[in-house]
Every structure is written in structure tokens, then in C-alpha cells.
Amino acid sequence: MLIAVVLIALCGLLVLGTPIAVGMAIVAIAIMWWASGPDLLIIFIQRLYAGTTSFPLLAIPFFILAGNLMNVGGMTNRIFDVAHVMVGRIRGGLGHVNVLASVLFSGMSGSAVADAAGLGVVEIKAMKEAGYTARFAATLTAVSSTIGPIIPPSIPFVIYGSLANVSVGALFLAGIVPGLLMAIGLMLVVAIVAKRQNLPVGDPRPPWPQTLEIVGRALPALIMPPLILTAIFTGVATPTEASVVAALYALLLGTLWYRELSLAQVPDILWETGRQTAQVMFIIAVAEPFGWVLIQQQIPNAALEAMFSIAQQPWLVLLIINVVLLVLGTALEGVAILIIAFPILAPIIKTIGVDPVHFGVIIVLNLMIGLVTPPVGLCLYVVSSIARVPLAEISRELWPYLVALIAVLGIITYVPELSLWLPRTLGYGVVN
């Protein structure tokens, strides 16, 4: 009964326009007051502070900063040029370039919105000039941006690792194969759409000297992901320390190498980074007392009993979880879903024997699909603004790509080795 009251109260506050973090705080305070009176509210302040003191969370502002510096510092255009050289010459080539550029850029920003906003400007402009419709360009840019937080580094994986107390490095490794599968799925859809709609054929590959020149210009940006991941997986740096290196590298590359980033722009970039970080950290801070209240009132246990009254088989439980997360993704922001749902889902996945690293990939992939699912998909609003295309038009073009992403989600859910093989091979000790 209490779980229904909590969900109804939270949804009611959201309908009234209350920010998600404020809504969680109001619900947590109300339950504390109802359970033990005002004396218990001291715990709210204590848990609020505790929610932001996890060392891995320090990686979030620096990965956000690195992505913002790269968007301004000239790396985005060069990454797009490399992708164009690789796959731009086939029918619908710029569609494939769009997806491949997101794969390359994902190893730097860790954020779907940064991908959509940064690469999106370049991709949509190039596709429109080449004869693609603005609707097609905007839709593909939105869905390809979801690859960003799956292929490491990944801000959602950092948050999940802090919540679940699992290795962020293992989560980073676990996301590589699923991210590549997402790219393959989207490129298959692009190939089908290109044939049906007779999309333009790209320009032939330039001569090898020019090709090597394009790759050479982008090489300093392209080596950034391998440097970050090698530092993490060899133990030279933690993910948090690597995020600082990524931000410093992006700053030096933009100012000293590409010379497209001036020091006069840095204060604005820092301000935007601080604003984005505050939004994320406010939700994370409030999530700690909210989760404590859920556990203290034994709501996860009630959810566990309710789940197993519906289904006993692990495959069916995972199916229900995926459906619930996809539905939540149509109405709530991804980080908020992760923080609200994890305390409830954690005992369920433990009971059915799902590895927490594998589940991290499942839940984050669900959240990424939510970013491009109407009516609240944040990436849809970003590309709609960039391309000046109404959200309704993008939504009509969206469904084949959503089917591809959901198919990849199903494969990842029921073939755990696709996520666990790489971290296990490199000695992270995950189990089936």
C-alpha cells in the first residue's frame, strides 16, 4: 500500500510541474514525519550530505567539462570528417557517418545530450546540405547519441557504480560490446531506409594523401579514449582521476593544438559545466534520503513480493523490469529513474541471480532509449531545436530506430556474456 502512495504522490508532484529532485525530497520528508515525527528529519540532512560524498562521483563534473571543451575546441568537426572518410561514400552514407561519429565521440563525452548537442550541429548541417531531409537528420542524430553513455566513459555508469557499489571500470568494459551492437543495429536501419527512400549516395573516398591528412588532423582527438581507458584498466588512474586527465587533455588540445578554444571562452564553459553538474548532483543528493526512506519502510521488500507474485522465472522478471523502465523513460529523466528505481530493483536482481554489472548495462540502456522516447525524451528536444523540426515530425520518423534499440536491449538482457565477457577476461571478477 505504501509503495502505491509513494508513487502516486511523486507522480502527482511531477504533474504539477515540481522538479524531480524537489518531488523526491518532499515525499521523503513527508514519510519521515509520518513515521517518527520531526525528530527523524535530522537523518534527512545527514543522508543528503552522504549522497554526494562518494569519490567516484567526482568524475561527473570532469567528464561533463571534457565534453563541453571538446564541443568548443574543434574536435567534433574532425571526428565527423574521419567518420565521413570511412563510411560516407555508400548510399545513405551520411546516415552511417552520423552513427559512426557517435561511436567515436562517445569515448570522450560520456553524455548522450553532449553528443546530440555537440555533434548534432555538425551532422544535421552536413546532412541537410547533402540533400537529406531535416526530419531524417534530426531523428538519426537523436537516436545515435544514445550510444554515448554506453561506450565508455559514461556518466550514468559512474552514478550506477556508486549506487550499486560495483567497479566503474568493470561497467565501462561491459558497455563496449553493447554500444557497438547499438551502432550495428542503427546502421542496419539506415541501410534499409536508404534503399526505400533512395537517399543520396555519398562522395567517393578522397585520394589517400587527403585521407591520411584528414585522419592525421583528428588523431590527437581520437587517441583520447584509448588513453583514458588504458589508464583506468591498467590501474594507473581511477575513473575519477582519468576524468580530470580527460578534461585537461581536452583543454590543452583545444587551446594549443587546434587553437579553436580561447581562454576567454573557458569561464563560460566552466559556468555551463557547473550548471549541468548541479542539476545532476542535486538529484543524486536527494536520492540518498529518498532511498533510505524506501528501505526503512521496507518498500523494496514489498516490491519483491509483488514481483514474484506475478512471475517466478528470471527471464520473465527481467522482461517485466525492462517494460517498466521503458514506460518510465517516456515520462521521467534518466538519472532520476536510475536513482528512484535502483533501491527497489536491487533486491529483485539479487534474488534472481543477475550480475550487478550486467544489470548496470541493462538499466542504462533502458534509460538511453528513454532519452529518445516521446514525450519527454531530452535528446529529441535538443535535436528538434538544432534542426528546427517539430517534435511530432521527429516522432513519426523514430519508430524503426526504437525497434532496433529495443531489439539490442533484448539481446543484451538475455545474453549476459555480451556484457560480462570483456570485464571477466580483463580480470574484474564478475560472475554469471
Length of the chain: 432
**Alpha carbons within 13 A on the beta-carbon side of 241:** 10
User: Residue 260 is which amino acid?
Assistant: E
| Radius of gyration in angstroms for the set of CA atoms belonging to the chain, rounded to a whole number | 22
Q: Is 280 exposed, middle or buried (0-12, 13-18, 19+ CB in 10 A)?
A: buried
pLDDT, residue 296, reads: 75
Q: How many CB atoms lie within 10 A of CB 315?
A: 11
Please provide the DSSP assignment of 220-286 as one string: HHHTHHHHHHHHHHTTSS-HHHHHHHHHHHHHHIIIIIS----GGGHHHHHHHHHHHHHHHHHHHHH
Q: CB neighbours of 100 closer than 8 A, spacing ≥ 6? A: 83, 86, 87, 183, 187
The x, y and z cell numbers of residue 344, run together, are 527497489
| pLDDT single digits (tens) 263-293 | 889 999 899 888 878 877 887 788 778 877 8
Q: Is 305 exposed, middle or buried (0-12, 13-18, 19+ CB in 10 A)?
A: exposed
| pLDDT single digits (tens) 92-121 | 788 888 898 888 877 665 667 667 776 777
Distance of alpha carbon 265 from alpha carbon 187, whole angstroms: 36
Asked if residues 97 and 80 have their Cβ atoms less than 8 Å apart, the reply is yes
Distance of alpha carbon 72 from alpha carbon 236, whole angstroms: 29
18: alpha, beta or left, given left = phi > 0 and alpha = psi -120 to 50? beta
Distance of alpha carbon 201 from alpha carbon 130, whole angstroms: 9
The answer to whether the pTM exceeds 0.85 is: no
- Pick out the chain residues at pLDDT < 50: 431-432
pLDDT, residue 432, reads: 45
238 φ/ψ angles, rounded to the nearest 5 degrees: -75, 165
Distance of alpha carbon 197 from alpha carbon 348, whole angstroms: 45
The x, y and z cell numbers of residue 249, run together, are 587533455
Asked if residues 370 and 337 have their Cβ atoms less than 8 Å apart, the reply is yes
